């Protein structure tokens, strides 16, 4: 193991690596991935086994605390989370101030950051273990409520309070889809599919949002603020925002007559900024194991729910054409986790602008686990170097002489 306290700041040569393509920022025991072989494991457990057999909160515990929980530990963990699912009434007034149609990722990020003001003990940099655990329980408990409320408010529908007779995923669905005028009972097929999707998104080592959480947390910013930064990093279309962009792209292709060759040509044209959304990955250059699971789940879920979605056919056609095309093969561009996830979310009735929020719900344990590991490692403040290429020393010129 590396003794971080022995690492001194280095002067002299600086490694310039735009986008940190080959620069490690930490050592981590959370997620193992092998981009060449398409392997992904959380704490050693293969993603395929977890997605098939585990519950999302069980995986959250594994990622955050390092081991699968025993029965007692799991009951205690779930119980602690259930007791915090309500969001402070005053936070509802914030929601009223957002404009109609406000993007729920913007709402979620600011609401998560606001939690730190309601629970100021989270700002104590000494962080006793009990306070950290409480913050972890609150975050896991409240993000689904915040997410569902942001959706309800964007529609100007009344918010639905959590009902703790339901489990984690069911409760979220209940808050999303219940109306005072209509009974809603979460469908077990939908809840199961959601459980799987959340597990598949739960961590992915030093991706853009996780690195953001770690670097923000390295200044001793509190966990809510660090996670809020993760939410905003995830929002971008090159990261989690890709799932919304994929469906919008597939819809555009459908409306355009479904000519996938035309869109593939556009993606290959270096003069055209268009990229095939949901294709390519910084570390997977062979295939993304999550995409393999999600593709199968998309077929299963649509079949079980009796949903026919024409964009699924377009997605499959696009994938087939791209996988046979030299441009994509040569660059190792394959469907990533976001390529099929949107199709499942749509079949589950989740509106498109909520897709990236769904990703955030799944990624939350990863952000927490990465933050906690960084704190426990005693890592120094993150502070990259630069190579200066601006003007040399010059003298101030008064404004009338410029």
Residues labelled as active-site residues: 281, 338
- Report DSSP letters for 348-378, one per residue: TT--GGGHHHHHHHHHHHHHHHHHHHHHHHT
The answer to whether 114 contacts ligand ACO (rule: CB under 6 A) is no
Are 333 and 277 a contacting pair, CB within 8 Å?
no
3-state secondary structure 327-340: HHHHCCCCECHHHH
Nearest of 308, 291, 309, 306 to residue 254 by alpha carbon? 309
The answer to whether 289 contacts ligand ACO (rule: CB under 6 A) is no
The answer to whether 278 contacts ligand ACO (rule: CB under 6 A) is yes
Q: Minimum Å distance from CB 89 to ligand ACO?
A: 34
**Residue 399: other Cβ atoms inside 10 A:** 6
Are 348 and 195 a contacting pair, CB within 8 Å?
no
The answer to whether 282 contacts ligand ACO (rule: CB under 6 A) is yes
Phi, psi of 280 (to 5 degrees): 95, 150
Q: Minimum Å distance from CB 240 to ligand ACO?
A: 6
Q: What pairing do the DSSP bridges indicate for beta strands 39-42 and 31-34?
A: antiparallel
The answer to whether 203 contacts ligand ACO (rule: CB under 6 A) is no
The stretch near ligand ACO (CB under 6 A) out of 164-172, 280-288, 309-317, 347-355 is 280-288
The answer to whether 144 contacts ligand ACO (rule: CB under 6 A) is no
The answer to whether 277 contacts ligand ACO (rule: CB under 6 A) is yes
The answer to whether 238 contacts ligand ACO (rule: CB under 6 A) is yes
The answer to whether 285 contacts ligand ACO (rule: CB under 6 A) is no
Nearest of 217, 197, 207 to residue 344 by alpha carbon? 197
Residue nearest to ligand ACO (CB): 280
Q: Minimum Å distance from CB 201 to ligand ACO?
A: 8
What Cα–Cα distance (Å) separates residue 317 from each residue in 37, 59, 275, 359?
Answer: 24, 33, 16, 25
Nearest of 296, 302, 252, 313 to residue 277 by alpha carbon? 252
Are 312 and 252 a contacting pair, CB within 8 Å?
no
Q: How far apart are CA 334 and CA 291, in angstroms?
A: 9
Which two three-digit tokens encode residue 192? 């199961």
Q: Minimum Å distance from CB 219 to ligand ACO?
A: 24
The answer to whether 210 contacts ligand ACO (rule: CB under 6 A) is no
The answer to whether 266 contacts ligand ACO (rule: CB under 6 A) is no
Write out the binding residues for ligand ACO, residues 11-40 only, by CB under 6 A.
Answer: 19
The stretch near ligand ACO (CB under 6 A) out of 5-13, 190-198, 334-342, 372-380 is 334-342
The answer to whether 319 contacts ligand ACO (rule: CB under 6 A) is no
Q: Judged by CB, which is closer to ligand ACO: 162, or 230? A: 230
Q: Judged by CB, which is closer to ligand ACO: 77, or 359? A: 359
Q: Which residue has the tokens 């119980």?
A: 79
The answer to whether 295 contacts ligand ACO (rule: CB under 6 A) is no
The answer to whether 240 contacts ligand ACO (rule: CB under 6 A) is yes
Applying CB under 6 A, the residues found at the interface with ligand ACO are 19, 238-240, 242, 267, 275-282, 331, 333, 336-338
């Amino acid at each position: 193991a590396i003794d971080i306290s022995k690492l001194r700041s280095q002067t002299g040569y600086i490694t310039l690596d735009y986008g940190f393509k080959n620069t490690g920022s930490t050592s981590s025991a959370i997620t193992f991935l092998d981009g060449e072989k398409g392997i992904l494991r959380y704490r050693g457990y293969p993603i395929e086994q977890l997605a098939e057999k585990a519950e999302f909160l069980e995986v959250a515990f594994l990622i955050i605390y390092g081991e699968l929980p025993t029965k007692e530990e799991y009951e205690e963990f779930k119980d602690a989370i259930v007791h915090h699912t309500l969001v402070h009434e005053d936070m509802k007034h914030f929601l009223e101030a957002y404009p109609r149609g406000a993007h729920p990722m913007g709402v979620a990020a600011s609401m998560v950051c606001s939690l730190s003001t309601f629970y100021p003990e989270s700002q104590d940099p000494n962080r006793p273990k009990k306070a950290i655990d409480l913050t972890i329980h609150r975050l896991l408990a409240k993000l689904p409520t915040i997410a569902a409320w942001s959706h309800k408010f964007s529609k100007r529908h009344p918010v639905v309070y959590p009902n703790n007779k339901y489990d984690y995923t069911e409760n979220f669905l209940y808050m999303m889809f219940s109306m005072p005028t209509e009974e809603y009972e979460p469908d077990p097929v939908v809840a199961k599919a959601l459980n799987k999707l959340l597990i598949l998104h739960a961590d992915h080592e030093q991706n853009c949002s996780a690195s953001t959480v770690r670097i923000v947390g390295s200044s001793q910013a509190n966990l809510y603020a660090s996670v809020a930064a993760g939410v905003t990093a995830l929002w971008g279309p090159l990261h989690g925002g890709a799932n919304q962009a994929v469906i919008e792209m597939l819809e555009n292709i459908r409306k355009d007559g479904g000519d996938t060759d035309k869109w593939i040509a556009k993606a290959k044209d270096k003069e055209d900024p268009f990229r095939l959304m949901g294709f390519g990955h910084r570390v997977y250059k062979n295939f993304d194991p999550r995409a393999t699971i999600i593709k199968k789940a998309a077929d299963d879920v649509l079949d079980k729910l009796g949903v026919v979605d024409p964009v699924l056919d377009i997605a499959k056609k696009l994938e087939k054409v791209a996988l046979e095309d030299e441009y994509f093969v040569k660059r190792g561009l394959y469907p990533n986790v976001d390529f099929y996830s949107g199709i499942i979310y749509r079949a589950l009735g989740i509106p498109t602008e909520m897709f990236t929020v769904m990703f955030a719900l799944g990624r939350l344990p990863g952000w927490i686990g990465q933050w906690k590991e960084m704190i426990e490692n005693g890592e120094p403040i993150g502070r990259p170097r630069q190579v200066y290429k601006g003007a040399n020393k010059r003298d101030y010129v008064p404004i009338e002489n410029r």
